[in-house]
Amino acid sequence: MPFSDLPPEVEELRQRTRRFVREIVVDEEPAPGGRLDRVTRDRLQAAAKEAGVFAPHVPKEYGGQGLSLRHWSPVLQEAGYSPIGPSALNCMAPDEGNMHMLHLIATEEQKERYLAPLAAGDVRSCFGMTEPHPGAGSDPAALRTRAVRAGGGWVLDGHKRFTSGAVGAAFCIVMARTPAVDGSPEGATMFLVDMDNPGIRVGEPIHTVDRAIDGGHPHLYIEDCFVPDDAVLGEVGLGFRYAQVRLGPARLTHCMRWLGLARRAHDIALDRAGTRELFGGPIDSLGPAQHLIAESVIDIETSDAIITKTAALLHGDPKVGSAMSSVAKVHCSEAIFRVIDRAIQICGGDGVSDGLPLAQYLNEVRPFRIYDGPNETHRWAIARRASAARSAAVRAGESYQGDAVTGRDGGA
């Protein structure tokens, strides 16, 4: 929805967030390639609470702003205008996705133990899904981490990697394959595992080009890890179904945050193009630069529109919205990269130097074409759904009124 159409209270929160990020957070950004330190993060989170912009996606009973999912985007885009803005507002991955899922499916006891401190910014979390080959990665069905029943609980064994946020996290939501037990089907189950459990260990780091996610993306070793029955999140055997509660919105919130960063990059490029002269006039008066600027505006606006549509679908029909989030993820991850890349081109040599933050922005958004499922996997799923939907429509009696061979319209 256009920002002008927002309910007054949402627009007011967006404006507060905009001022907070641009007037306070931006000045605290680390140098390109650096990471936000814990002391600065804690100070910014305290300031965000005082400013009334902390945890926009979290229900008010847990200290957040209580925004409906369909109104997350305008506020998260403002947070994403700084690469450390989402951390300052406690709406950064993987915590944001874990908060959303815990709120929807955790028991009251689990919410008190895990959601409340996470929502308050007192702890961080991680999500253990991805595994080394041939385990779960692009294909979640390849899940190899196992959990078996043991007196009063479960014993987990497995090896995770790219466990974003694991360094310093208080707990991990671990996806493991479970057998059919007590009437529950064989399948995957999610478990809440405290990171001080002697059966779980953070392993070697994986050095990636992005810096915004606190806690890195290390290996995680799970060996003879006992958890009690109340560590099950949701129901036994239904982990993949519950994971969609998290993954659909989490893909979309990545789009929201990084679109905010694309807007920042575009502003940097516009400022440069409007003040630097070349061939007798400002850069933005030259055709090649105008083409780059126009293409970026198109990418920003189409990304904003598809995010808005997907958020509305997730709010009204999570199953349809989750499917649409694949479309949004592919489009936005590629469009946002193009916007930042064009900004670098407009800024010339300074764009690839550490005199501007643009090269680091490119490093931040490039992994998104892989994280949360590679774009190729999403395209495969999108195509399958499109073909299945058309086949179902044909079986229901729909037909294209034209030449099925040439594709020409019947009235042409």
Backbone angles phi, psi at 187, to 5 degrees: 165, -150
In a domain, 73, yes or no: yes
Which amino acid is located at 295 in the chain? E
Residues 290-309: tens digit of each pLDDT: 999 999 999 999 999 999 99
| Strands, E assignment, 214-307 | 220-228, 232-233, 277-278, 281-282
Which residues are within 8 A (CB) of 321 and not within 5 positions of it... i.e. 6 or more apart?
A: 248, 310, 311, 312, 313, 314, 315
Residue 406: the pLDDT is 33
Residue 401: the pLDDT is 52
Q: Burial of 27 by CB count in 10 Å (0-12 exposed, 13-18 middle, 19+ buried)?
A: exposed
Which residues are within 8 A (CB) of 387 and not within 5 positions of it... i.e. 6 or more apart?
A: none
225 and 81 in a single domain? The answer is no
Residue 368: the pLDDT is 96
Taking CA atoms, 46 is separated from 6, 30, 58, 112, 320, in Å, by: 27, 18, 16, 21, 37
312 and 208 in a single domain? The answer is no
246 and 233 in a single domain? The answer is no
113 and 132 in a single domain? The answer is no
Query: Mean pLDDT in the chain?
Result: 94
Residue 319: the pLDDT is 86
In a domain, 409, yes or no: no
327 and 263 in a single domain? The answer is yes
Residue with tokens 């290390």: 218
Q: What are the structure tokens assigned to 187, written together?
A: 């399948």
Q: What is the tally of structural domains in the chain?
A: 3
106 and 208 in a single domain? The answer is no
314 and 390 in a single domain? The answer is yes
Low-confidence ranges of the chain (pLDDT < 70): 1-4, 399-412
Tell me the DSSP string of 192-224.
Answer: EEETTSTTEEE------S---STT----EEEEE
In a domain, 400, yes or no: no
285 and 199 in a single domain? The answer is no
7 and 150 in a single domain? The answer is no
CATH number at residue 77: 1.10.540.10
Select from 189, 217, 237 the last residue of a domain. Answer: 237
Q: Which helix (H) or strand (E) holds 153?
A: strand 153-160
Residue 361: the pLDDT is 98
Range of the domain at 51: 3-119
104 and 220 in a single domain? The answer is no
112 and 200 in a single domain? The answer is no
Q: Which helix (H) or strand (E) holds 148?
A: strand 146-150
Residue 197: the pLDDT is 98
Taking the CA atoms of the chain, what radius of gyration do you get in angstroms? 23
Contact 88, 44 (CB under 8 A): yes
113 and 17 in a single domain? The answer is yes
How many other C-beta atoms are found inside a 10 Å radius of the C-beta of residue 138? Answer: 14
